[in-house]
Structure 1
Amino acid sequence: MKASPLEKQAHRRLGGLGVALALLLAGCPQTPQSSTTPPGNLEPPRSVMAWAVSPYEVRLSWKAPEGLSGPSFEVERKVATANGAFEPVATGLSATQHLDRITSGGKTFIYRVRTRTASGQSDWVESNPVPVPAPCASSPANPPQVGCFGPVVDNWPLVPTYAALLPNGKVVAWYASDDIGRYREMTDVHELDPHNNPPGQEDGTMAVVWDPASGAFEDVSFGNGSQQNGRNVSGQPKGTDLFCAGYTVLEDGRLFTAGGNLGLEWGSPRTNLFDPRTNTWTPGPGPSTPDMWWGRWYPTVTKLPNGEVLITGGTSKPNSQFVEGSADPLCRTPSGRCPEGLRQGKTYSTIAGAPGLDKGVATQNARGTAHNNAFEVYNPDSGTLRMLEATAAEVNSFEHYYPWWHIAPNGLAFLSGAGKQKGLLDWQRGQWTGIWQSYPYPPSGGYSTLPYDAHRIYGSSVMYEPGKVLVIGGGYAADDWSSGELAIFSLNNWENGHTTLHITLAQDANTPPTMRPGPKMRYSRTHLNATLLANGEIFVNGGQQDGGEDTQSIPGYNGREPSGGRPVMQGSLAQEWWPKTVNPATVFNIDLAVYQSEIWKPGENGGTGRFVLGPRAQRPRIYHSVAMLLPDATVWTAGGGGCGQCAGNFETGGLDAGYYGRWYNQPEKINQKNHEIYYPAYLFNQDGSLAPRPIITGLEGLAPGEEYPTLAYNQTFTVRWAHPDPARSIRQVTFIALGTPTHAFNQNQRFLRLEFTQDGYILNVRAPYDGQYGSPNPGGARNIAPPGFYMLFLIDDKGVPSVARIVRIR
């Protein structure tokens, strides 16, 4: 009998081992599946494998059981959901392969095959899950070089602005207490806003869980959020409006949120927990410490090496009565007293050797908003909060809107922006170890009139491998009324918005990081998204360019460089260009959207990498958009807008058509209740067809008795794999934390390469270990991969990734 391709593959890889043993070691899912039919009395097929060959076709192959004369085979298919039902695909097949034609892609399928003869049938054997891409819709489409966007999916019940990938592979997302932000119609969003009088809209959140495999939604709204738009679904207790909250997925699999909305820029002091196993919300963190010290609006939640989470930043309602140094019971510091800097900031920082931040809860801006300078730590095991003695007041340029933190290989928390000063925080001792300002840009770079790394509000920061950070875009134009009329000057978005800053952290906690200019993007961007791909590249999409993509139209602007230094616009020219150039006055003007994506490739240009242009999106991903890597190695891009009826302007307290440009009162154009999937170039062959992918068929050596697949630090574990192409081998094993992005920053995005050895279709993989990436030995593994959930990818020798397995490390 002629050997099948898979049989030849097994002989070539494993030599003298028998074919049956070889195929077993190939690891394809071979557990017979029960069905409503009687138990099988025949041997089932083996090595059932499925892979997409186009958006409309899936190929299957399997090995016939030995010793049967003239068997036939039946094939069935279902969408890969827990409750999905199999449907017949083919019967009476004599061959051990089949090409299944489907109506469209964009879903994940599971197949099953069984043997039949005149004597009976076998049990069913399931294939691996097969994500089938939707057809490319972006134009021009050049998938082999830059990838493509799939079609727009216009079925979202809300504008997804806050999102997290859960351990079950689903995505939880929300906007606010309603679907599009109708609170923005209020001209006074504080005391006179009826939403602030309980039971108001902010006492709940409208939220959904989306399944990328099937495209289905589950409503997980709670509190008054579950009554919006005539809905009454969850029956869960009142809670927080999670608009402008910070969040992360904990080591135990629950989503933890900090803060939320009590009216524009007034943050909530509450914390909340979402359990994906039951799709329920509960108040946090515990009965003994129900709230944070003060409210937080735009805080960041950062996972720490010991499993705790650090809560920083955010704005709040002012508290002019607060007494610094008092024994406030909510200031849960080791000293029992509230640390210096919470009330009015600091006039001088001894750590930075420079002025400190001069704002705190007793100070406020023109809209009556104060800054929360406290650093708090949540312990998931005890359900308690504690406060550090260190505060944000040490950092003069500390940005309270989602500050950018990363855990360094030495275990300290590194502040990379959005301000000019960078710092290292010893969160265990509760003190800063160093604060440094970014280096000026060399005059030869054309930016001698401003510090290179000016304030980068609504840019992004990515730790693309432990100890190495790329800060991307950001910054906005400044406006000034000191002369009695409006003047626009120092257009940081022109000068900073398309630049990057490359940072390499030192192992020594007292040594400044190495900071140097990185490569420039083609487009200036604020409100962008920067997403780590399965291979370590960074996909940059969306955002806004003040003045739009056509910068030639901006007065005083020549090409991509300012002419004659910093242009200043005054009089009628300033009045005309203020809503076009001053962020956040432009956040909902979709004429300023950047549709063209860009891809950063590491390791070139002396280590700072380079950008190449990617495909063009079909919808504007502006302010309130989001992007996240999914387990199938694609990028989900969604949302943008969220301005209610897009006719109110909370910035000025009145109606302002200029705030939305020519899209005033057109919510259907601005509010993006939809998504597009980006399919990276690594999913395609050079001819544009889909590339066959490696398949993870089994994991061994994991901790027994755990609810989730769980690894230990420093251990070696086994990965069994297969591949439709017998000539392929594995080149990389990558480890990427689950995404939690919002407002241009993914709060816990991390990427590692794991070491491994290869023996045929068995990989012996080393989990993150002490000393890796320059971390301390012993004890450093937790610094480079804080406890929690990660996507495990295999990448073959053509650069094609597998579908990830989500695993936990603790």
Structure 2
Amino acid sequence: MLINFLCIKCLFLQLSFHFIFVPLIPSQVLPPYAGSQGEWNLLHESIGISAMHMQLLHDNRVIMFDRTDFGQSNLSLSSGRCRFDPYDTVLHTDCTAHSILYDVATNAYRPLMVQTDTWCSSGSVLPNGTLVQSGGYNDGDHVVRTFTPCDDDQCDWIELPQHLSERRWYATNQILPDGRIIIIGGRRQFNYEFYPKSDEDLSFPQTFMLHFLLETRDYAENNLYPFVHLLPDGNLFIFANTRSILFDYKQNKVLKEYPEIPGADPRNYPSTGSSVLLPLDERNGSTSVQAEIMICGGAQNASFALATQGVFIRAISTCGRLVVSHANPSWVMEEMPLPRVMGDMILLPNGDVIIINGAQLGTAGWELARGPMTRPIIYRPSEQTSRRFSVMEPSTRPRMYHSSAIFNPHIYYNFTNVVYPTDLSLEAYSPPYLSAEYATVRPKILSLNETIGYKATFQVRFSVEEYLSAGVVSVRLIAPSFTTHSFGMNQRMVVLKILEVSHVTSYVYHLAAVAPSTAEIAPPGYYLLFVVHAEIPSSGMWVKME
């Protein structure tokens, strides 16, 4: 499967931006995308819903869903089904869909049934490939919903009422090394819990206080969708507004507080910057893996209050990098070419980071942003500072709130008489490395192990039309994210150690690589594997870590 962005307005395979993106990978050699700025393609003028949330599944389908409490969508449920909800604040009987399953291969989609409100919820994929979606609003705030891929197109959401101990609205999920999910925070929730709960858990408190979330809330008690990343030592990096900690969730203990990010401006919703854990590199062995966090964009302190009065001030233009594995880390700040709030950050298979969607002025929220950021930016972490940022080809479509894969800047679907009308389109952005000029250096995976165990040696056979350049081949695993509100939960990349690369015949090569060393480096589950040659990635192939 090729890596492009699908925008649903941006399905990466960007899904609306709605990314469904299938990632890419790093090496060396090629210049920073000279002469190519990527390409946009419209896949659907309308998919019927706004994709507030999205997740790429291991069967190459993307699940997308919106909130349910705004009235009818533009897509009917199939087979005469209707949703009956006496708690819905707009419609008690609704025969339209608020979720779809999009097939990347066929560019087709089908409606799914969601019963309770999923507004501003969170999600993770279990090791068996089942999507677990948690919380929401109103009658959905204590609900867990699951979706398991199937071959017959009969699968749909399964809802588990009152399965959460606390109300989870704007919470963040992270898959853990043991396959459980930790669910952190939410509006006025300064605590965390786990899913699934074991029999042992039922004998102890189901919710655990996290004072850091209490300390970092703003005047409206907001530190929503905190940035959470699982680190190689098994602890969590948690960032809320301007502060961050190293957190041992097993002992409910803060091990370290990191320096405050410079600038004193918040980065979490509604100020809405974005964050990634940069690729974890095991090429030199597991003992030397460096963990580095990157956070970009956001809104200035006064942005929300001013925007409600019709004054839209400049978004934040800085990015900060923090090597959290160092004993005494400090933030290294850089300036993006353009300011951005509500931008999505996605790891590409070649190790670059794409920053896409959002606005130049204002903040996240209904009608509170102006100046759409239609140009993606590609950031090359290993380049010299002056060559790291490249500005890409613009889209013709604004991608504002909620652009995590969709574009819906309104409380309801508003198509007229608003500054930025609701856009239900699905659009794809292809990064520069997919340009035809790189066809001869692009690898094609011919065969590989579909299941790999930790520390195991596994084989990959691939072809390259042009003679293989020594030292510029890498193998990377990418865990696709659950994307909403400009943050990709569970997103991570691991660069693997290669033991040998040998020439088989003609343009065919064989390589032996070593799987991730621990579940802390790569939690169990499905990953996209890429072979990258001279910074040009192959299509991704699914493998399962277990």
TM-score range, shorter chain: 0.7 to 0.9
- Confirm whether residue 458 of structure 1 aligns to residue 277 of structure 2: no
- Structure-2 residue corresponding to 1:99: none
- Structure-2 residue corresponding to 1:501: 320
2:247 partner letter: L
- Structure-1 residue corresponding to 2:124: 248
Superposition map of 1:228-267 within 5 A? 240-262=116-138
1:469 partner letter: I
- Confirm whether residue 410 of structure 1 aligns to residue 226 of structure 2: no
- Structure-1 residue corresponding to 2:458: 717
Judge conservation of contact 2:524–2:544 (CA < 8 Å) in 1: yes
Seen in structure 2, the aligned counterparts of structure 1 residues 644 and 803 have a Cα distance that, compared at 3 Å, is same
SS across alignment from 1:248: strand
CA distance in 1 between counterparts of 2:328 and 2:442 reads 42
CA distance in 1 between counterparts of 2:254 and 2:96 reads 37
Residue number among 48, 55, 68 corresponding to 1:164 in the alignment = 55
Judge conservation of contact 2:266–2:299 (CA < 8 Å) in 1: no
CA distance in 1 between counterparts of 2:90 and 2:417 reads 31
CA distance in 2 between counterparts of 1:163 and 1:738 reads 10
- Confirm whether residue 746 of structure 1 aligns to residue 495 of structure 2: no
CA distance in 2 between counterparts of 1:424 and 1:733 reads 29
Residue number among 475, 486, 494 corresponding to 2:299 in the alignment = 475
Question: Could you give the per-residue CA deviations for residues 321-341 of structure 1, whole angstroms, max 9, x where no partner exists?
Answer: xxxxxxxxxxxxxxxxxxxxx
- Structure-2 residue corresponding to 1:736: 478
Question: Could you give the per-residue CA deviations for residues 595-644 of structure 1, whole angstroms, max 9, x where no partner exists?
Answer: 111111112346x98211111012111111125xxxxxxxxxx4343542
The answer to which structure has the higher helix fraction is 1
CA distance in 2 between counterparts of 1:303 and 1:748 reads 6
Residue number among 236, 242, 245 corresponding to 1:420 in the alignment = 242
Judge conservation of contact 2:177–2:522 (CA < 8 Å) in 1: yes
CA distance in 2 between counterparts of 1:452 and 1:243 reads 26
Question: Could you give the per-residue CA deviations for residues 723-766 of structure 1, whole angstroms, max 9, x where no partner exists?
Answer: 34455676111111022111000011111211112112211010
CA distance in 1 between counterparts of 2:267 and 2:223 reads 16
Aligned-residue CA RMSD in angstroms? Answer: 3.6
CA distance in 2 between counterparts of 1:394 and 1:738 reads 26
Seen in structure 2, the aligned counterparts of structure 1 residues 294 and 733 have a Cα distance that, compared at 3 Å, is same
Question: Could you give the per-residue CA deviations for residues 332-388 of structure 1, whole angstroms, max 9, x where no partner exists?
Answer: xxxxxxxxxxxxxxxxxxxxxxxxxxxxxxxxxxxxxxx011210113777977635
* 5+ residue gaps, structure 2: 3-11, 14-21, 23-32, 74-84, 281-290, 504-508
SS across alignment from 1:741: strand
Seen in structure 2, the aligned counterparts of structure 1 residues 614 and 481 have a Cα distance that, compared at 3 Å, is closer
Residue number among 388, 406, 412 corresponding to 1:610 in the alignment = 388
Shift of 1:678: 1.4
SS across alignment from 2:165: strand
Superposition map of 1:95-106 within 5 A? none
Seen in structure 2, the aligned counterparts of structure 1 residues 462 and 480 have a Cα distance that, compared at 3 Å, is closer
Seen in structure 2, the aligned counterparts of structure 1 residues 205 and 311 have a Cα distance that, compared at 3 Å, is farther
1:378 partner letter: Y
CA distance in 2 between counterparts of 1:180 and 1:615 reads 35
Residue number among 271, 278, 281 corresponding to 2:157 in the alignment = 281
- Confirm whether residue 533 of structure 1 aligns to residue 351 of structure 2: no
1:462 partner letter: V
Residue number among 144, 157, 164 corresponding to 1:271 in the alignment = 144
CA distance in 1 between counterparts of 2:277 and 2:387 reads 13
Seen in structure 2, the aligned counterparts of structure 1 residues 409 and 487 have a Cα distance that, compared at 3 Å, is same
- Confirm whether residue 438 of structure 1 aligns to residue 274 of structure 2: no
CA distance in 1 between counterparts of 2:305 and 2:376 reads 36
2:501 partner letter: Q
Superposition map of 1:131-210 within 5 A? 144-151=35-42, 153-177=44-68, 195-196=87-88, 200=92, 206-210=98-102
CA distance in 1 between counterparts of 2:537 and 2:448 reads 17
In the superposition, the TM-score normalised over structure 1's length comes to: 0.54
Question: Could you give the per-residue CA deviations for residues 298-336 of structure 1, whole angstroms, max 9, x where no partner exists?
Answer: 111111111111101212xxxxxxxxxxxxxxxxxxxxx
Superposition map of 1:306-317 within 5 A? 306-315=178-187
Judge conservation of contact 1:478–1:488 (CA < 8 Å) in 2: no
Judge conservation of contact 2:433–2:536 (CA < 8 Å) in 1: yes
- Confirm whether residue 641 of structure 1 aligns to residue 409 of structure 2: yes
Judge conservation of contact 2:55–2:481 (CA < 8 Å) in 1: yes
Question: Could you give the per-residue CA deviations for residues 481-539 of structure 1, whole angstroms, max 9, x where no partner exists?
Answer: 99xxx9899x8x63x611111111126xxx5543221x211222111111111101111
SS across alignment from 1:682: helix
Superposition map of 1:653-802 within 5 A? 664-665=417-418, 670-686=421-437, 690-691=439-440, 693-700=442-449, 709-725=450-466, 731-756=473-498, 757-760=500-503, 761-769=509-517, 781-797=518-534, 799-802=535-538
Judge conservation of contact 1:176–1:205 (CA < 8 Å) in 2: no
2:143 partner letter: R
- Structure-1 residue corresponding to 2:191: 374
- Structure-1 residue corresponding to 2:26: none
1:664 partner letter: N
Seen in structure 2, the aligned counterparts of structure 1 residues 520 and 744 have a Cα distance that, compared at 3 Å, is same
Question: Could you give the per-residue CA deviations for residues 652-673 of structure 1, whole angstroms, max 9, x where no partner exists?
Answer: xxxxxxxxxxx6358xx62111
Judge conservation of contact 1:205–1:241 (CA < 8 Å) in 2: no
CA distance in 2 between counterparts of 1:792 and 1:480 reads 41
- Structure-1 residue corresponding to 2:25: none
Judge conservation of contact 1:157–1:179 (CA < 8 Å) in 2: no
1:718 partner letter: Q
Seen in structure 2, the aligned counterparts of structure 1 residues 582 and 807 have a Cα distance that, compared at 3 Å, is closer
Shift of 1:540: 0.9
Judge conservation of contact 1:396–1:421 (CA < 8 Å) in 2: no
Judge conservation of contact 1:296–1:314 (CA < 8 Å) in 2: yes
Judge conservation of contact 2:267–2:297 (CA < 8 Å) in 1: no
Judge conservation of contact 1:164–1:738 (CA < 8 Å) in 2: yes
CA distance in 1 between counterparts of 2:63 and 2:248 reads 32
- Structure-2 residue corresponding to 1:296: 168
Shift of 1:435: 2.7
CA distance in 1 between counterparts of 2:201 and 2:94 reads 24
Judge conservation of contact 1:374–1:387 (CA < 8 Å) in 2: no
Seen in structure 2, the aligned counterparts of structure 1 residues 513 and 307 have a Cα distance that, compared at 3 Å, is farther
Seen in structure 2, the aligned counterparts of structure 1 residues 302 and 808 have a Cα distance that, compared at 3 Å, is same
- Structure-2 residue corresponding to 1:346: none
Judge conservation of contact 1:603–1:609 (CA < 8 Å) in 2: no
Seen in structure 2, the aligned counterparts of structure 1 residues 201 and 622 have a Cα distance that, compared at 3 Å, is farther
CA distance in 1 between counterparts of 2:72 and 2:143 reads 20
SS across alignment from 2:335: coil
**Larger RCO, structures 1/2 (Cα 8 Å, 6+ apart):** 2
Shift of 1:195: 4.9
CA distance in 2 between counterparts of 1:690 and 1:423 reads 44
Seen in structure 2, the aligned counterparts of structure 1 residues 145 and 380 have a Cα distance that, compared at 3 Å, is farther
Residue number among 191, 204, 211 corresponding to 2:103 in the alignment = 211
CA distance in 1 between counterparts of 2:418 and 2:91 reads 29
CA distance in 2 between counterparts of 1:201 and 1:512 reads 57
CA distance in 2 between counterparts of 1:462 and 1:582 reads 20
